Structure 1
Amino acid sequence: MRSPRIGALLASIAVLIPLGASACSSPAPRSAGAARDCITDFDPSKDYFPEKSTIEDATGLTIEYHRSYQVVTVAHPAQGAPPASYVLVRCGAPAPELTGELADAPQVEVPVRTVYAGSTTHLPGLAALGAADAVTGVATTGFVSTPEIVERIDAGKVQQFTDAGAVNAEKVIAGRPDVLVTDGSDSPAFGKIRDAGIPVLADADWLEESPLGRAEWLKFFAALTGTEKQASSVYQNIKSQYRSVADRLSGVPKTPVLLGSIANGSWTMPSGGSYFGKLVADAGATYPWIDDRAAGSLQLSIESVIARARDSAVWLLSDPTVNSVADLDKQDPRYRAFAGPAKQAWNSTKAVNSGGGNDYWETGVLRPDLVLADIAAIAHPDLFPGHAFEFYLHLPQR
């Protein structure tokens, strides 16, 4: 969908000037990824993006195509931040000289050859697009679960660019990636990295409140890697499988579930309008706060949760410190009020790796269809006999 703001900005006609010295050559540190097919005889009347992405479900991402460049706009590059636009220029084409707010927008030659990924959520999408070889840096190597990237880490082809979770600008500058993609948060190091000539682009998929909308940020990386056709195929398959599970549960009685846990003296629970609240609804389940359409999480009194949700049939958790129901009781004795749902307590920790990374927050972001199938099988085991769980495991009592 075209943003009126960006549409107005693009109404100004571009003047073309050369982009850098050589569109297809650069120093060795930037040649780690796959070779790219650059324009050698530029024709201003030719459309150099024959395959185009169409955004269907994501609300925080728009992509507009021009003959030799595209404009990618992120509605909120960080929470509460104003929109940011990036001009992606087909390598070998002259750079568009844009006016208005796009005059200062970062320009990036695409397809990129090397990417530093600020979040593990970026990695399954890049692998699904066949672009794993472009990944030369990740925020924390130990958290990575995507097999193609783990293999590259083990081979010494991917470096970690954070120290204790903070971006190390010197490491990024030394690695000289074509682009650094952030995790949708800001860092004091980004200014220094930009000053060194490395574009910093924001992937704010985590701000999407729709499971499918979050998965569709795959197309952000398709724009960077020139894999729009593959992205369309991958996303349509994910969407089809998600809808298949959701449709199967249409009209089925809703299973009452308990969500969340105690933290800092209150009960933290996803709202009905949140990413996870929508997964629960689509999985044929319900809970007393499902009609609360606030974004994000709710902070509730423990007493109110005991009063309204103690008789739930299922308890869905996401707590890496909990391996049994007894662990919960040790954390807070008030959990004993939930003896009923504790018999069917499930934790999204089946796919935690040795470094503490959880593939639920990696592959699960790209594949909400798999997360939905797990929750649906928990809420309606009779409809999904023999389901092989990807992310959830049933907590033993001890």
Structure 2
Amino acid sequence: MFKSKHLIAIIAAVLACLTSCVGGSTADSVEGAEVIGMKYARLLTLQEGEGFVLAEIKNPWDTTKILHRYLLVPKGHEKELPEHLPTGDIVSIPLTHSVFSGSVHVSLIDKLGAYKSVCGVCDLNFMNLPKVHKDAAKGIIKDCGSSLSPNIEKIIDTAPDAILLSPYEDSGSYGKLGKLGIPLIECADYMETHPLGGAEWMRFYGMLFGKQTEADSLFAEIEKDYNQLKGLVKGKKRPTVVTEKKYGSAWYVAGGNSTVGQMLADAGADYIFKGETASGALPYSPEVVFDKAQQAQIWLIKYNQAEAMSYPLLAKEWTNYARMSAFKNKNIYTCDLGKTMYYEETPFQPNLLLRDYIKIFHPEVLKDYSMRYYKCLE
């Protein structure tokens, strides 16, 4: 992973100057470093230098700026670094005792074979990971409270070597959490727009946890499967599709350039909001979406509630639902988030979700496949 075993010793004072470059507007170019190619990710760049890897994350909300820079250095070699290093937070790798703010990265690290590195989690109650709940009950994994307001004392007691969290716009320095002197790994993978873009970040996480070979291999498998599936529906007639339903006074729809929008296109669907160029979710009035979606052939809904979704329940929730073609033709497909691993698996394994989509839109292509997340509403 690292180019040279013969590293130049530098004094601790130089190390102290290596601070994070949050909010910077220019990318550091490392002389003699080799760029590690990323095919789909647009927010993450990796450069392999002499005794370190520079990981640079663009600000998703202003890509002319840098969200964070990290220098990944093998443990025990932190003082043996070349001179004239780029700025960045030093992260001693492999990480072996880390806190995670969400289930998706715990699930990934488990799949890569580094589950024992998980020492604490936030939002435990929202994690659909039985193994984590079992270890939390035993005290092996610490419950560090809410990701929005973590238990600082519990995190200090846990003494992690890093905290993995999802950044949000204008998150700044994370208050007390940012003052603990613990590396904060800002997991902006969820802001990538290509379905394989976020998944490709597993190569970075593999480096962090000493599972680079496993991560590279897994991503190659996912990429191959995704593109092969995409090819199965090339040239086929595309059914029109609408997603989700209203919540309160708004109906949130994914933009055409979002991960969902692109995946629907890759699955051979004609997404009714494909013309919206946004890369995130857009709030519309329910009436506007209804007018546009009334004739859509297929309707996809994700939900998380105690009562199972049903046609009578939908009609009771909003009478206009019963006027939609997908409702009348019994062509609604639902994903129960409380009973599936949708959020734990699909961000880093989009091929699994793509397979479900293709089964829904073009069932003749995958005749013997049973869906993993969605089911036809009865």
Q: Which TM-score bucket, shorter chain as reference?
A: 0.7 to 0.9
Residue 141 to residue 304, structure 1, CA distance change in 2 (3 Å): closer
Partners of 1:359 and 1:111 lie apart in 2 by 27
- TM-score in terms of structure 1 length: 0.79
Partners of 1:330 and 1:98 lie apart in 2 by 68
Partners of 1:381 and 1:124 lie apart in 2 by 29
- The answer for the alignment partner of 2:317 in structure 1 is 331
- The answer for the alignment partner of 1:115 in structure 2 is 98
Is this contact kept in 1: 2:95–2:209, CA < 8 A? yes
Match of 2:361 among 379, 382, 386: 379
Secondary structure at the residue paired with 2:119? strand
Q: Which 5+ residue runs of structure 1 have no aligned equivalent?
A: 1-12, 21-48
Residue 147 to residue 250, structure 1, CA distance change in 2 (3 Å): farther
1:139 Cα offset (Å): 0.9
RMSD, aligned CA: 3.0
Q: Deviations over 1:147-193 (max 9, x none)?
A: 55455335431111124852121111111100001122376894433
Question: Which runs of structure 2 are paired with 1:41-60 in the superposition (5 Å)?
Answer: 54-60=37-43
Q: Which 5+ residue runs of structure 2 have no aligned equivalent?
A: 1-6, 15-32
- The answer for the alignment partner of 1:43 in structure 2 is none
Q: Deviations over 1:119-169 (max 9, x none)?
A: 211122211221111011111223323455455335431111124852121
Partners of 1:282 and 1:167 lie apart in 2 by 38
- The answer for the alignment partner of 1:29 in structure 2 is none
Asked if 1:253 corresponds to 2:241, the answer is no
Residue 149 to residue 220, structure 1, CA distance change in 2 (3 Å): farther
Q: Deviations over 1:16-64 (max 9, x none)?
A: 23599xxxxxxxxxxxxxxxxxxxxxxxxxxxx99x9642211111111
Asked if 1:16 corresponds to 2:2, the answer is no
Secondary structure at the residue paired with 2:10? strand
1:99 Cα offset (Å): 5.6
- The answer for the alignment partner of 2:156 in structure 1 is 173
Asked if 1:317 corresponds to 2:304, the answer is no
Partners of 1:14 and 1:291 lie apart in 2 by 54
- The answer for the alignment partner of 1:262 in structure 2 is 246
Asked if 1:340 corresponds to 2:326, the answer is yes
Amino acid at match of 1:107: I
Partners of 1:19 and 1:237 lie apart in 2 by 44
Partners of 1:130 and 1:19 lie apart in 2 by 36
Partners of 1:306 and 1:191 lie apart in 2 by 42
Match of 2:139 among 156, 162, 185: 156
Amino acid at match of 1:382: E
Partners of 1:225 and 1:298 lie apart in 2 by 36
Asked if 1:85 corresponds to 2:69, the answer is yes
- The answer for the alignment partner of 1:31 in structure 2 is none
- The answer for the alignment partner of 1:25 in structure 2 is none
Question: Which runs of structure 2 are paired with 1:228-239 in the superposition (5 Å)?
Answer: 228-239=212-223
- TM-score in terms of structure 2 length: 0.83
Amino acid at match of 1:294: A
Secondary structure at the residue paired with 2:290? helix
Partners of 2:258 and 2:220 lie apart in 1 by 23
1:374 Cα offset (Å): 0.5
Partners of 1:316 and 1:281 lie apart in 2 by 14
Partners of 1:302 and 1:191 lie apart in 2 by 38
Question: Which runs of structure 2 are paired with 1:94-243 in the superposition (5 Å)?
Answer: 94-95=78-79, 96=81, 102-103=86-87, 105-146=88-129, 148-163=131-146, 165-185=148-168, 190-243=174-227
Partners of 2:219 and 2:75 lie apart in 1 by 26
Q: Deviations over 1:327-353 (max 9, x none)?
A: 22222222122153461111221x525
Percentage of matched positions with identical amino acids? 25
- The answer for the alignment partner of 1:42 in structure 2 is none
Is this contact kept in 2: 1:319–1:348, CA < 8 A? yes
Is this contact kept in 2: 1:119–1:182, CA < 8 A? yes
Partners of 1:243 and 1:345 lie apart in 2 by 26
Amino acid at match of 1:379: F
Residue 240 to residue 147, structure 1, CA distance change in 2 (3 Å): farther
Work out which structure has the larger RCO, using CA pairs closer than 8 Å and 6 or more positions apart in sequence. Answer: 1
Partners of 2:76 and 2:299 lie apart in 1 by 55
Q: Deviations over 1:300-343 (max 9, x none)?
A: 34344333322222100112236112222222222122153461
Partners of 1:192 and 1:107 lie apart in 2 by 19
Residue 147 to residue 363, structure 1, CA distance change in 2 (3 Å): farther
Residue 53 to residue 225, structure 1, CA distance change in 2 (3 Å): farther
